[in-house]
Amino acid sequence: MRVTLVGTGSPIPVLDRAGTCLVVETDDETFMIDCGPNTVHRLIEQEISYGEITDLFITHHHLDHNAAFYNFVFTSWAQGGRESLTVYGPDGTDALVDSMYDIYEEDLEYRKDIYPTAGITDIDTVQIIDGFSTTIDGHDIETLGVSHSIETYAIKVTAPDGRTFVFSADTSKIPSLKEFAGDADVLVQDACIGPYDEDQVPDDGLVWEQYCTDTPYSSDAVYESHCTAADAGEIASDAGVDTVVLTHLMPYRDTNEMQRRAEQSFDGMVIVAEDGLEFEV
């Protein structure tokens, strides 16, 4: 299977990183995990035929993971290739879909005269819980409840031949990730908290001044809900994975130092994510 990290950023909007989104391509199917800000534009940039995506998994309902949902649903439907859509997510997923119908009722009525109605007026929702599982194109998909500020799920995808990819979603370091990601080929791991690099701050334009420091937070909430690069390395080492990819990066981070810190506790491959990163599992 091929995995593309469509967006690798955080809630803080910067031009070089979109909100969280991953696309998984199997032999015959393509499905998506999360749908953060700028997802649709990145899908177009990365030449992903997103009009054919019929399954979307949402790990949790924070804006940097679902804010492009309406845009994705409408524009993928308008491409004409999608005949159905199933949205998997935690409690509140049905409300997200219903809100689209409420807010865009007149817009839908107008567009139904232009596009076929299949795949837009009949969206299915499936609530995921800890231990949820399903199968897409022979690939087993499982979830693990993780430790974040709201209900959130890590996702594991296992191919028929046993190759495994795990996305931690947003989480602090928890023991259950060791077993869930055990012996995975690739772990894409939240490493939100990282050292600041003043050379990464733009010389002009919008600058998020409060993030120009190693500790840009006014409370411990972020530390209780996310991982550091060192945490990511320790999780990868404990789980015995082959490769760990650091993602969900805040602005102006020293990615070289983050990689070094992860490598201190993990002797496999460490990759710092960028939007558009592709890898085969």
Residue 219 has pLDDT above 70, yes or no: no
What pLDDT, on a 0 to 100 scale, did the predictor assign at position 276? 98
How confident is the model over 150-154, as a mean pLDDT? 98
What pLDDT, on a 0 to 100 scale, did the predictor assign at position 214? 81
What pLDDT, on a 0 to 100 scale, did the predictor assign at position 113? 80
What pLDDT, on a 0 to 100 scale, did the predictor assign at position 132? 98
The three-class DSSP label of residue 230 is helix
* pLDDT per residue as tens digits for the range 161-209: 999 999 999 999 999 999 999 999 999 999 999 899 999 999 888 999 8
Residue 133 has pLDDT above 80, yes or no: yes
* pLDDT per residue as tens digits for the range 221-248: 787 899 999 999 999 999 999 999 999 9
What pLDDT, on a 0 to 100 scale, did the predictor assign at position 216? 65
How confident is the model over 16-29, as a mean pLDDT? 97
Rounded distance, CA 100 to CA 66, Å?
A: 13
Say if residues 70 and 41 touch (Cβ distance below 8 Å): no
Residue 258 has pLDDT above 60, yes or no: yes
Range in 26-35, 116-125, 141-150, 180-189 with the lowest mean pLDDT: 116-125
* pLDDT per residue as tens digits for the range 66-123: 999 999 999 998 887 788 999 999 999 999 999 999 999 999 888 878 877 778 888 9
The residue written with tokens 């993990």 in the block is 266
Rounded distance, CA 182 to CA 249, Å?
A: 24
How confident is the model over 113-136, as a mean pLDDT? 91
Rounded distance, CA 39 to CA 170, Å?
A: 18
DSSP annotation string for 159-190 = -TTS-EEEE--S----THHHHHTTT-SEEEEE
- As beta bridge partners, residue 133 has 142
Runs of H (alpha helix) within 135-263: 176-180, 221-225, 229-239, 255-263
* pLDDT per residue as tens digits for the range 44-65: 999 999 999 999 999 999 999 9
Nearest to residue 21, comparing CAs of 50, 242, 206, 177?
50
Rounded distance, CA 232 to CA 234, Å?
A: 5
What pLDDT, on a 0 to 100 scale, did the predictor assign at position 217? 63
How confident is the model over 25-36, as a mean pLDDT? 97
What pLDDT, on a 0 to 100 scale, did the predictor assign at position 218? 56
What pLDDT, on a 0 to 100 scale, did the predictor assign at position 26? 96
What pLDDT, on a 0 to 100 scale, did the predictor assign at position 7? 98
Nearest to residue 156, comparing CAs of 127, 191, 189?
189
Residue 140 has pLDDT above 60, yes or no: yes
Nearest to residue 228, comparing CAs of 267, 257, 268, 186?
257
In the structure, what pLDDT confidence band is assigned to residue 31 with cuts at 50, 70 and 90? very high
Map out the domains of the chain with their CATH numbers. Answer: 2-280 (3.60.15.10)
How confident is the model over 268-281, as a mean pLDDT? 98
